[in-house]
Chain A
Amino acid sequence: MTITPAPPSAPPTRSTPLDLARVVLTGAVIGSSLAALVVGTVLGHVSLLVGGLVLPIAHGLLVLAAGAPERARRRAIVPCTTLARIEGLHATGGETSDVPVRFDLTVAPDGRPAYRVESTQSVNLVDLADYEPGGIVVVQYPPHQPWAVKLVKRPTPEWEDRAASARINSAPGPALTAKPPPDGSVGGYLTLLALLLGAAAVVFAFRADLFGPEGPADRPPSAAGPADPGTSSTTIVSAASGTVALGPGQSLFDGGRLRLAVDSLTQGDGRNRQALTVVAQDRLLTVVFTPAGSQAPGFDLDALPYPRIPALVREARTTLGVRSPQTWQLTAESLSGALTLRVGVAGADGAASLEANGHGEIVRRVPAR
């Protein structure tokens, strides 16, 4: 029985659904991580920044891990070595000592029909004279990719001898090429689409922070992430009072920031920690200290219920009937004896306030009228 070897097949021209899923996922990851980096930077959202960095790394590792079995399988394949006849060649560019040369070859595998292939190889200018039409060269290719032909520039002595004595007739075309599949542009469009959708998804998820009201008085206390202690602020302290003005993008009602600001006014030996009044807005804190030697009824700044304050402000903004609060402030004083916190809110619907005791428990609500 004679087995007629099949001629080598051309490179695959269609992408599999898995390939398309991979390009879509890659596009989505690129788009969402880039958007996360930009949105995270704009909002000062550290978690989003970290997510934008970690996501592509995790995706890359996932792709690496998923492709490992296939790579291992391909690495285990012993490449085919054979002879080829140069039908034609021309240099396609070159500013360096190695120039890309496009070879038209007739590859003649042992025991199989010869076939034509086009392949671009990098050849040193000095070695270019070794390659001329009609010459015989040694080539290698993976058995499953006969179009991926690579020139062996330094063949072993055995293959050198075979090349020196070989005669190969030209095979008819058309030549196989290692060009990308024609529907590669579909993959490109899908990647672009997924990239845009990924970016849009991140922007959509944070639309409220990005496109919401910008005034500091309108920002809900919990809108921003934890304040960075290293960001800019201005502190002015005298014996009678102290003021802290935070830079843009910060809020006194981010976790622990109010306490830090109060502490910054009272640091240092002998500094007064007794206050008559504390007034806090989103980025502005004013403390009126109890004058030295005064019998005025001040309170200890450590006695303020710091953890409860953001919740009190949120409560005042959302439950007292002022739908679009334009301004609000927190006042703490003990002029009447016990420490009292008052949160006032004002907007188009009028003004409202609530009062809380020294433990941060609400004792009175005055809704909008």
Chain B
Amino acid sequence: MGWHAYLALWCVVLGAVAVVGYGRSLAGVTRGQRAVRVMGRIERVTEPRHGSSGREGIAVVVTFRDPATGQEFTVTNDGECGDRISTAWTGREVGIRYPPGRPHAYQFTTDPDAGRSGLGRPNFAVFLIYVGLVVVASIDWGWPWALIGFGVPWTLLSATYLPRAVRDTRLRIEGLASGDPVPGRVIAVLKDVTVDEDSGTATRHTPVVAFTTHDGTAVTAYRTTGLSDPARSRGRELTIHYRPDDPAVFTTDLAAEHRSRVGEIAFAVGSLLVGVAAAVAGGVLIAG
């Protein structure tokens, strides 16, 4: 069996996966589509204990109502139950997802709409087919086709991503700068020690910031970036800029946000240029 036959097999198998996936998505029977998605409400926030682990997120008590039965459930984020809750305040809405009829298998989610279309798996199968075809084209017709195969879709993706990145960072900065800052404080520093056979012991420190917004919302949040010497930051007084409509978006350093905005846009532009350069170089080499 020649290697072209293996490629054909690769395409057939993945094509079947894709067709089945798209069919299931059209029929609305994928796990993501069947999942029940509701918004829960944080009823209680427990202040993290200094030195404890940050892996399980801020301890919260959440209530939600199952739309099928109307029954209300009170749950906590104990153990493995979806996305980590790293910013919390009483009254905050959090996404909850669970299989139909099984509210006890609830999972917290930061993006309640994630996976709603059920197209992730078939799209990935199509991507793998595309990779296989690009590899074949590169071997059969020459490596410049790899540049084309990579550059063209990369450029299209970057061109889509760039305007959105610019808009999102602009809105974020505007939101953060729109209100008066409030005082905040590092109330605890969480510590997670992991042992790796290669790199030895690694310790990660996660400062926990608490602040109260102008409307009286007491926010508790992990702050993984932007604080110098996080291990000894407990008790440090901070100035918090937050978005009035969503205190989960906050910063302790507005100037750093501006710098990171420039960095993000530069990254998006650089990414676009890499794609264009690859596609152009591939085209020139093929034409030459």
A residues within 8 Å of B by Cβ? 46-47, 50, 75-76, 78-79, 95-98, 124-127, 150, 152-158, 226
Contact = CB atoms under 8 A, between A and B. Distances in A.
7 contacts: A46-B3, A79-B104, A96-B192, A96-B194, A97-B53, A97-B191, A126-B53
Interface in B164-201: 191-195, 201
A155 B78 CA distance: 7
A96 B191 CA distance: 10
A124 B79 contact: no
A135 B235 CA distance: 32
Contact of B78 (A47, A152, A226): A152
B283 interface: no
B49 to A, nearest CB: 6
B52 interface: yes
A60 B56 CA distance: 31
Given A47-B1, A154-B76, A156-B76, 4 more contacts: A97-B193, A124-B53, A127-B52, A153-B56
Nearest to A97: B193
B127 to A, nearest CB: 18
A346 B275 CA distance: 62
A157 B74 contact: yes
B61 A95 contact: no
B195 A95 contact: yes
B135 to A, nearest CB: 14
Nearest to A98: B53
Interface in B1-52: 1-3, 6, 44, 46, 49-52
A155 B77 CA distance: 9
A266 to B, nearest CB: 22
B54 to A, nearest CB: 10
A157 B76 CA distance: 9
B78 A158 contact: no
A150 B104 CA distance: 15
A126 B104 contact: no
Contacts of A47: 1
The list of the 5 closest CB pairs from A to B, nearest first, reads: A154-B78, A97-B193, A154-B76, A126-B52, A126-B51
Nearest to A255: B2
Given A97-B53, A156-B74, A75 B61 contact: no
Contacts of A157: 44, 61, 74
Contacts of B2: 226
B273 interface: no
B75 interface: yes
A308 B153 CA distance: 46
Nearest to B204: A97
Nearest to B59: A154
B53 A95 contact: no
Nearest to B105: A75
B132 interface: no
A155 B75 CA distance: 8
B99 interface: yes
